[in-house]
Amino acid sequence: MSIRAAVAAVVLMAGSAAAGDLFPFTMPWNDAGTGNITDISAWNDKPAGAKGFVTVANGHLTAGGKRLQLLGVNVTFGANAPTHEDADIVARRMARFGINIVRLHHMDTHNAPNGLLENDRITFNPEYLDRLDYFIAALKRQGVYVDINLHVGRTYPGFATWPGGDNYFKGVDHFYPQMVKLQKDYARDLLSHRNPYTGTRYGEEPAVAIVEINNENGLIREWGAGALDGMTEPLRGEITRQWNAWLKQRYGSDAALRKAWGARSEPLGKEMFTSGWQLQTLGGAKAKLATTAAGVAMTMESKGQEDWHVQMHQGGLNFIADQPYTLTLKLRADHPMSLAVQAMQTHEPWKWLWSDTIKVGTEWKTVSVTFSPTFGETGARLTLGGLGFETGTLEIAEASLRPGGTSGLKPGESLDRGTIAISEHASRFSRTPAAQRDWLNFLWDTEVGYWREMQRFLKEDLGVKPPIVGSQAVYSPAPIQSMLDVVDDHSYWQHPHFPGRPWDPDNWRIKNVPMAGVENGGTIAELALRRVPGKPFIVSEYNAPAPNDYQAETMPLIAAYGALQDWDGIFLFDFGGWNNNWHTDHIDSFFDSRSNPVKLASLIATAAMLRRGDVTAAAPTHATLPDRAAWIEALRQSAYPPSGANFGMPKDAALARSVGAIAGSGPAPAWPVKSDTGELTWGIGGKTVVIDAARSKGLIGAKLGQAYDAHGVGLELTEAQGDWGVLTATVVQGTDFSSPGRILVTALGREENTGQQWTDASRTSVGRNWGQAPVLVEGLGARITLPVAASRVTAFALDELGNRKAPLPVTGSARATVEIGERYRTLWYEIVVK
């Protein structure tokens, strides 16, 4: 279907919609821009790399001596290899929305035709490679850089996975030599390949802005997630060998190791369990606790929404930090279960003093565990949980908790014989604190060795010129990632949760809430508090996934505060076309953006705030990262890569000033939180974020009927089905809102596919019922007042292509007022100041 025919069909459908309803709004997949106000492709320098390689200078990405800030998207699987015809169209379409980099993601996950590899998981498929080459050349012509990902989802041939382990061998591929070799071979084959359409090897291609070694991958993080606990041979044997060699070099003998670890055996003290078990259920779960001849039995009758929604506990327990305690349980179940055991606080922030996982079988088994709490606590509790998704019966015949026990070295362990066992995450606190720190230091050193060797290989052996990213700071501690050229991170607001099996298309949920105005800054604080001051920082995956009703806030919100924090790039995940079907005209997944009119329409305001620099960066912080010992201690307590929040930095500080993975102190900023630059305010009226920069104005999470004066520009939401919306006004041409120029206004609210069906009244899932084309959107009403005479102003509603389709009345005298509304059946408008 032609663009003109597609638009005509949509206009006919829109005309039949009743007032107040959602209406169709389709941005054709092959609309490459027409030079109207919604086409900002001229902002890209063409071709990408024309001014030389992307480099790092003064803590930021640069190109040709100028600062380079990136607005990117991800493409995944088959989308990395569109047909030549589609590649030209997609590249042009990306550029018209202000996109200047594409992250080539998951090329290695599937076999061809949806991936680069043949069935042997080693050889490149020639047709896929040709299409990839052409796509990169097409992007380059449009001024769009690429970020080449190396290892993402490749399963290394010849190795078997294990229950609870990662299918992509995350963490393991840091220490197992054959897997490291396979990574190097893949990198050599790809980065030494000469693109016939550009004539350049990828390692020497100036349009390649970034090369990323290993997506969402870190040894410490995978250990902390328990993914290495069930590791099989020969992998377990190899890391055990490396662990014992590390200890041997550090201590030399059993005697020195025993002394350093404080290995000891203390007699068991008085019984600490003095009351019976208490049952707790949440999230709709149903369970009952009954006394039996043997002891007690807990029967789970129906599942909850989280694994902790069924638990039983004993309270009133007092723990001393680093002292040994011995827990003994005799239990069985009517089918095999994994029982989560924690000593934990009974108040916010509900921190764990210790945790473990016990495998429960159908026969009676006595389990005895000695642990040392990470910190002291009075009035704590011992919890048996992780059963929120279970049904069936768990029986406990004996339960005892007593101070004392044997801690440190286990029977049969000897450094001289090389038999010191690795520390499994599930039982990590059975070691003394000194031993726990040693294990984490070993993992730290192993990670550092991996990243440094891979970076050396790329730079020295292959001659790769673009900057190198290792992984993400939420997967590998920020100090380790700062050893590479660029620090990266990922975050999602209300990522779908799968209470059963991962990525089950029928059984998933989202929390359908907005982020604008929430306490602690949501994902903004999470990301900002992992930045390393003085290093380029990008966020190569970000989204508030569909079908969230508040997707409109996604990119304007992260761009405004990313600009405040002076980040170097933000990438939307993803653009779509994952199955190489670029022609789809409805939202076909959580992350699809190519057919998502609300997200696409928001990109121009996003590009202006981030790339053009409309939102001013806060004064940089010159603080340094806490030392390694502080990071190790934070990891010992949480087993999760820390951020500035672990070192006392208030999360709300990210809404006001430059922060990072640094120590902080003092109270959080006053509410609502105004940035030090004065251009951003978070939480006005409890939920609204106001953007007030010279060329960018906006309300995110706006409330009906509340007018805001943004330095002479009046903004007010007048119509919205849910008393919520996103209103932006961007000077696309001109210097400010009172000078001659052109202003793009976007008014964004709810959207959904035709026929989309929620599975519950709380709108947390649609299961497989995503619906079909066309996409339906909400038409917001708003009032925009400008600091210029009405006689100087004309205004227009725009169609799906961004072309003018209807004039708007302009009222007022000394100050022009433009009113928009649902009756115009559009998401964007143009205002011209003469």
- What is the C-alpha to C-alpha distance for residues 745 and 730, in angstroms, rounded to an integer? 6
Share of the chain above pLDDT 70, in %: 97
Retrieve residue 252's tokens: 């030399």
pLDDT bin (cut points 50, 70, 90) of residue 557 is very high
Tokens 């001014």 locate to 51
CB 476 within 8 A of CB 221: yes
**How long a stretch of residues is the chain?**
834
The DSSP annotation for 135-157 comes to: HHHHHHHTT-EEEEEEESSPPPT
pLDDT for the residue numbered 374: 80
Retrieve residue 388's tokens: 């929120």
Spatial CB neighbours of 517, under 8 Å, sequence gap ≥ 6: 682, 683, 684, 685, 686, 687, 688, 689, 701
CATH match for 30-234+442-610 among 3.30.70.600, 3.20.20.80, 3.50.50.60, 3.40.50.150: 3.20.20.80
The model's pTM? 0.90
pLDDT 10s digits, 350-362? 888 888 788 899 9
Section 438-445 average pLDDT: 98
pLDDT bin (cut points 50, 70, 90) of residue 274 is confident
- What is the C-alpha to C-alpha distance for residues 472 and 465, in angstroms, rounded to an integer? 21
Evaluate the CA torsion angle 638, 643, 647, 652 in order and state its sign: negative
Spatial CB neighbours of 510, under 8 Å, sequence gap ≥ 6: 494, 495, 496, 497, 545, 547, 548, 764, 765
pLDDT for the residue numbered 20: 59
Q: How far does Cα 757 stand from its chain's mean position?
A: 27
Compute the mean pLDDT over every residue in the chain, rounded to the nearest whole number.
93
- What is the C-alpha to C-alpha distance for residues 659 and 771, in angstroms, rounded to an integer? 42
Q: Smallest Cα–Cα separation from 92: which of 162, 43, 19, 41?
A: 41
Poorest-confidence range of 21-30, 403-412, 435-444, 684-693? 403-412
Phi and psi at 528, nearest 5°, equal: -60, -35
Using DSSP's 3-state secondary structure scheme, residue 681 falls into: strand
Q: Please tell me the CATH superfamily of domain 278-407, with its number.
A: Galactose-binding domain-like (2.60.120.260)
Q: Smallest Cα–Cα separation from 538: which of 202, 189, 89, 59?
A: 59
pLDDT over 90 (residue 56): yes
CB 383 within 8 A of CB 311: yes
Evaluate the CA torsion angle 167, 170, 173, 176 in order and state its sign: negative
pLDDT 10s digits, 765-816? 999 999 999 999 999 999 999 999 999 999 999 999 999 999 999 999 999 9
pLDDT over 50 (residue 57): yes
Q: Is 595 exposed, middle or buried (0-12, 13-18, 19+ CB in 10 A)?
A: buried
| 740-773 core/surface letters (b: 16 or more CB in 10 A; e: else) | ebebbbbbbbbbbbeebeebeeeebbbeeebbeb
Show me where the domains of the chain are located: 30-234+442-610, 278-407
In this structure, the dihedral spanned by the alpha carbons of residues 759, 760, 763 and 766, taken in order and rounded to 10 degrees, is -10
CA geometry: angle at 451 spanning 450 and 456, to 5°?
A: 100
pLDDT for the residue numbered 262: 87
Poorest-confidence range of 9-23, 170-184, 376-390, 660-674? 9-23
pLDDT 10s digits, 302-312? 988 888 899 99
pLDDT 10s digits, 487-499? 999 999 999 999 8
Q: Is 199 exposed, middle or buried (0-12, 13-18, 19+ CB in 10 A)?
A: exposed
- What is the C-alpha to C-alpha distance for residues 677 and 395, in angstroms, rounded to an integer? 60
pLDDT for the residue numbered 484: 98
Evaluate the CA torsion angle 158, 75, 26, 490 in order and state its sign: positive
pLDDT for the residue numbered 305: 80
Identity of the amino acid at 334: D
